[in-house]
Amino acid sequence: MSRFQVVSGKGGTGKTTVAAALALALATEGRRTLLVEVEGRQGIAQLFDSDALPYEERKIAVSSGGGEVYALAIDAERALLDYLQMFYKLGSAGRALKKLGAIDFATTIAPGVRDVLLTGKACEAVRRKDKQGRFVYDHVIMDAPPTGRITRFLNVNDEVAGLARIGPIHNQAQAVMRVLKSPQTAVHLVTLLEEMPVQETADGIAELRAAELPVGRVIVNMVRPHLLDEEALRAASGGRRGEIAKSLTRAGVTGSAALVRPLIEQAAEHAERVGLEREQRDVLAGLGLPTAELPLIGDGVDLVALHELATELSKQGAGGEVDA
């Protein structure tokens, strides 16, 4: 089972919600998960209705069977200070660099440094062990950047390793890539049953595979229910409005055409949507990856809804071992 699970997706697909639900799904039967945020949006805190996450690992939820979910908002500046202390023992000198603005310069201007720090901090949590030699976290889940940026975000350590061929930076980059390209890691992509998100998902999978990064599952989010059976769908999509009108009359729906016509139009629109969604499912099926589907939560996602989504992911085996 992959211990480091990265969740990406096109903007608007609900990748943060899926990452949070996945953390809950994996934190079962006493297991401990760490949910990591790297974009500074505090989306995890909002989902769990908690205060803004500090730069420290904080327990934010308990799952079924006593499992625990911890969360961490990784700040690139603080991560760089940690890095300087770890490898160069700068201590107060590192804090002085921050006051002078050097830290901000390094994390915003220096190519790749910010992403190396963010991925490096997450991978450190994956590798960390306690005094008894056991992993501190059974799983680490990262709410990662969007699909269009995910391959470069994860693969930037290779670029840095190529630039710095010796020393701590080289060693750090190599250690991170050993985790990211190992069976410990799975990169999941969240999509909707719409053409643009599905196409971006397909493109993202191709880029990840080209970079030899381990692709996990496609998670289809916000799936709307089908309100009509197959016969009704065929009638609505085939223009058989006369039959529908007669069926409505037999069902006791009588009155003026002004009442019946909107119902027929809504049925036709629903049938069209179902047809388009089936086309996108076919595209996703052609990607050759395991999938999971999560329902649309109409009233917004709160902690109760997160637990429901986590249960759905567990039922569908999401978070388990997958083939890249």
**Contact at 8 Å (CB) between 7 and 141?**
yes
Instruction: Give the pLDDT score at 257.
Output: 54
pLDDT tens for the 324 residues of the chain, in order = 689 999 999 999 999 999 999 999 999 878 999 999 998 888 999 999 888 888 889 999 998 778 999 999 988 777 766 766 555 554 554 454 454 444 454 545 455 677 888 888 899 999 999 999 999 999 999 999 999 999 999 987 666 655 556 566 667 778 888 999 999 999 999 999 999 999 999 999 999 999 999 999 999 999 988 766 666 556 556 655 566 666 666 667 665 555 666 766 677 676 777 778 889 999 999 999 999 999 999 878 888 999 999 999 999 988 444 343
Instruction: Give the pLDDT score at 261.
Output: 67
Q: What's the gap between Cα 52 and its chain centre?
A: 20
Minimal CA–CA distance to 46: which of 309, 322, 315, 300? 300
Q: Which residues contact 188 (CB under 8 A, 6 or more apart)?
A: 5, 6, 7, 8, 18, 22, 216, 217, 218, 219, 318
Q: Which residues contact 125 (CB under 8 A, 6 or more apart)?
A: 34, 36, 57, 72, 136, 137, 140
**Contact at 8 Å (CB) between 48 and 252?**
no
Q: Where are the beta strands (DSSP E) in the chain?
A: 4-9, 32-37, 58-62, 68-73, 139-143, 185-191, 215-223, 291-295
Rounded to whole angstroms, the Cα distance separating 66 from 79 reads 30
> In 290-313, which positions are buried (b, 16+ CB within 10 angstroms) versus exposed (e)?
bebbbeebeeebeeebbbbbbebb
Rounded to whole angstroms, the Cα distance separating 240 from 232 reads 10
Q: What is the pTM of this model?
A: 0.83
Instruction: Give the pLDDT score at 323.
Output: 40
